[in-house]
Amino acid sequence: MDATHAESDLAKVFCDIEHLDRPGCLDQWREVFGRPPPKYVSPQFMKRVLIWEHQNRELGGLSVRTERRLQNIALGKAPPTALKPGSHLVREWNGRTYQVEVVDGGFLMDGKMWRSLSAIAKHITGAHWSGPRFFGVQ
């Protein structure tokens, strides 16, 4: 099957789903997922999920990496933040404002090069800190 034919088939499926009434949505949901939908789900929501599922099955779903990232977000785990050179971090501590620039190979603060944000946080506070947490990037 060529791509154009697959797209027209998908468009027809989407159109058919859009015109379903509530009993039709329930029947289609059971057919696609093998079980009834959760209680009190609106027909509009069911239609969106059905269209999404058909699209994933026909065109491919999310990558394993994306699935894992979404799962971590759902569990409340923040995705790792990639700091890019040129970014600036600002933190106030005990009445003083500290500015850190992200550079290749580390961080620059007050003209001094640092290998990690944690080292900078310890320098500022005198205590062991998670540098990313101290600067609010975690």
Residue 125 lies in a domain: yes
Q: What are 58's two structure tokens? A: 């026909």
Residue type, 83: L
pLDDT for the residue 93: 95
Could you give the number of structural domains in the chain?
2
Round the average pLDDT of the chain to a whole number and report it: 89
Please state which of the ranges 78-87, 94-103, 112-121 shows the lowest mean pLDDT: 78-87
Percent of the chain with pLDDT over 90: 62
Q: Is the pLDDT of residue 1 over 70?
A: no
Mean pLDDT of 61-80: 81
pLDDT for the residue 106: 93
Q: Is 51 helix (H, G, I), strand (E, B) or coil?
A: helix
Residue type, 135: F
Q: Name the packing angle between helices 43-59 and 3-18 (round to 10°).
A: 170
Full residue range of the structural domain in which residue 115 is found: 88-134
In tens, the pLDDT along 2-61 reads 656 667 788 898 999 999 999 999 999 999 999 999 989 999 999 999 999 988 888 888
- Would you say 111 and 65 are in contact if contact means Cβ atoms under 8 Å apart? no
The answer on 8 and 53 residing in a single domain is: yes
Residue 23 lies in a domain: yes
Q: Is the pLDDT of residue 78 over 70?
A: no
Q: How do 88-93 and 106-109 pair as beta strands?
A: unpaired
pLDDT for the residue 79: 64
Mean pLDDT of 98-102: 96
Q: What are 40's two structure tokens? A: 């009190």
pLDDT for the residue 61: 85
Q: What are 61's two structure tokens? A: 């779903």
